[in-house]
Structure formats: C-alpha cells, structure tokens
C-alpha cells in the first residue's frame, strides 16, 4: 500500500491533536505531520504532498464569537486558494470542533461551492449543557470513504453540536445522501439521549457534494483502543479510522 501523508492542523485551543496523531500514526503505511495555522503559512507547499488534512476537536481560539468561527475565518482568509487546489487530490476530515470549523468556513456541505456562504450550523445542544456520552451511530458512508460498518458506538463531547439549517438545504442534503452518519436507537425513537443534541434528521456527520470533505461530531480517536471504550470488546474508533485509510488508492496519492 502506498504511504498516506496526513496533516493534523491545529490552533490555540485545539486539544484532541495528540490523540488524533497517536491514532493515525499507529498505522505503518501512514506518516503524520502536525502544524498550526501560523506554521502552515510558511509551509504551504506541505499541502502538495498531503493526502488527508484532519482538523481535530477542542475549542479553537476559545470558541470566541461562536464555535470554530475564528479558525474558519483564518482558513478562508489565508488558505482559500491552497485548500481549493488541495481538494483536487486530497481530502479533509473535521472532528467535533473541526466539523464546526468546516461548516463555518463554507466548506461543508458546499452546495454552492467551497468557501461559499455558510449553509448549515452546529448550534447549542437542546439540553443547554455540554454532552459527554457514548452514542450509537448508523452509517450511509459512500465507498469513496471506505467500506464502513453499518453501525458504530463512539463518544461525543460538545456543547454546540445540534445540526440545523433551513428546509431547502436539509432537503438537498437528504436528496444527495450527504447525511452519512446519524444518531441511532436500535430499540425505538431517536430522542434524547440517543440524539444528544437535537440535530435535524439525527445528523451526526455529513460529506460535501463532491465527497472530498467529511465532518462529524463523534470522536473516533477517543475510542481507538479497547481500554478507552465503554464496551471493552469494541474497537469502533479503530475500525472507523482503519476503514477511512483503506479507502485511499492511487487516484488519491
């Protein structure tokens, strides 16, 4: 298998970068670099050899204004051309705060193009509190992102994870099957706490219309080893990441 080059992109307040680095660097065919936004300004050429950008969870810039907004503004202002060029060959994953950054920057779902006006939002949880719990998820992930299990059991940890948008946009997302990860209750209605935040259509993760960008609220890197899992027989975080990495092929390299 060809070497996959992963870039973990950080900023002040991001706090899941080390767990993400550990998880992805565990795989022998993966090389991982970690840069903050200021470092990337001086090393933009790094993007030319990168296959996958990951924006981890945390509270970038303290989530001032609202979650992910400042990071998203820097991304759009300083790296717009480079990111659009990168998406011709590479892909992006945003986890939790990373997901918030991607929607705030207009990179997801990008129905009107990358870095368009913001089309969806991740708002305050219906419970009005920080939700730190394990959730069951069902998948509708296209093969371009790997052959995934039908269900996963992963943790969430967020105060602003409620997926919300207008009727026209949610209709388009569902029509295009961009709602690739959903909160799930195998025994009945997907009410709280199975849907931990009140997301429309129980959405936990989406992809863009070109299938190059994936944003999700759950944290697979926090369930990467059985010792970290609520179910000691579960390796769902490991399986999730492994399935994504196995989706890379020569066309992505």
The DSSP code for 90 is -
Handedness of CA 213, 143, 193, 223 (dihedral sign): negative
219 is catalytic: yes
| Beta carbons of 138 and 150 less than 8 angstroms apart | yes
| Beta carbons of 34 and 8 less than 8 angstroms apart | yes
Of 96, 123, 158, 160, catalytic: 96
Of 19, 119, 123, 221, catalytic: 221
96 is catalytic: yes
The arrangement of strands across the sheet holding 213-216 comes to 30-36, 4-10, 52-55, 91-95, 213-216, 203-207, 181-183, 131-139, 151-158
Beta bridge partners of 198: none
The tokens describing 223, both together, are 């369930």
Closest CA to 16 of 76, 58, 66, 65: 58
Of 5, 74, 148, 219, catalytic: 219
| Beta carbons of 204 and 182 less than 8 angstroms apart | yes
246 is catalytic: no
The tokens describing 133, both together, are 């719990």
Rounded-to-integer distance, Cα 22 and Cα 32, Å: 9
* Residues tagged active-site: 96, 219, 221
């Amino acid at each position: 298998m060809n070497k996959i080059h992963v870039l973990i992109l950080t900023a002040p307040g991001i706090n899941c970068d080390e767990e993400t680095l550990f998880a992805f660097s565990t795989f022998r065919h993966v090389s991982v670099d970690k840069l903050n936004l200021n470092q990337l300004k001086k090393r933009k050429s790094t993007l030319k050899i990168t296959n996958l950008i990951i924006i981890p969870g945390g509270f970038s810039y303290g989530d001032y204004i609202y979650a992910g907004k400042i990071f998203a503004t820097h991304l759009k202002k300083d790296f717009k051309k480079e990111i659009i060029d990168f998406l011709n060959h590479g892909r992006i994953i945003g986890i939790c705060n990373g997901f918030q950054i991607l929607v705030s920057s207009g990179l997801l779902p990008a129905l009107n193009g990358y870095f368009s006006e913001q089309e969806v939002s991740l708002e305050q949880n219906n419970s009005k509190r920080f939700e730190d719990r394990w959730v069951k998820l069902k998948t509708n992930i296209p093969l371009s992102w790997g052959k995934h299990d039908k269900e996963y059991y992963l943790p969430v940890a967020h105060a602003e994870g409620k997926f919300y948008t207008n009727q026209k946009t949610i209709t388009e997302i569902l029509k295009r099957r961009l709602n690739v990860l959903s909160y799930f209750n195998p025994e009945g209605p997907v009410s709280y706490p199975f849907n931990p935040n009140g997301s429309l259509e129980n959405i936990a993760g989406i992809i863009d219309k070109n299938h190059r960008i994936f944003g999700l609220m759950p944290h697979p890197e926090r369930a990467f080893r059985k010792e970290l899992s609520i179910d000691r027989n579960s390796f769902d975080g490991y399986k999730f990441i492994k399935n994504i990495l196995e989706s890379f092929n020569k066309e992505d390299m």
